[in-house]
Amino acid sequence: MAQETNKKVTAEGEDNQKVMPFGKQNYIIVLIGLALIVLGFILMIGGGSDDPDVFNEKMFDFQHITLAPILVLAGFVVEIVAIFWKRK
């Protein structure tokens, strides 16, 4: 018994199959990239002072100046990879 496929054949005999541009892996990679971006912005929060007359050195620590921007940039790179990822 022949298996039916989702292909539609036109009058000229060409295959007209609807193919989704992104697969499940692409969406998983997009979610990972989005999580990295959100985590980076969350890590940028804080370090300020409640009193405007008092300077707080915490705003210049490793988390705010180095780690958070690296995570945001890594998230954008992961998003680009998710767009170009091809299914096998």
- Condensed to tens digits (0 to 9), the pLDDT of residues 14-54 reads 666 788 888 899 999 999 999 999 999 999 997 777 788 88
Q: What is the mean pLDDT of residues 73-78?
A: 98
Question: Could you tell me if residue 65 is inside a domain?
Answer: yes
Residue 12 vs residues 7, 9, 15, 19, 71: alpha-carbon distances, Å: 14, 8, 9, 20, 51
Rounded to a whole number of angstroms, the CA Rg of the chain reads 24
Question: Could you tell me if residue 18 is inside a domain?
Answer: no
**Cα–Cα distance, 79 to 22 (Å, whole number):** 13
Q: Over pLDDT 90: what percentage of the chain?
A: 48
Full domain range(s) for residue 61: 24-48+55-84
Residue 12 has pLDDT above 80, yes or no: no
Question: Could you tell me if residue 37 is inside a domain?
Answer: yes
Q: How many domains does the chain have?
A: 1
Question: Could you tell me if residue 4 is inside a domain?
Answer: no
pLDDT at 73: 98
CA angle 41, 47, 52 (to 5 degrees): 130
pLDDT at 7: 54
Question: Could you tell me if residue 12 is inside a domain?
Answer: no
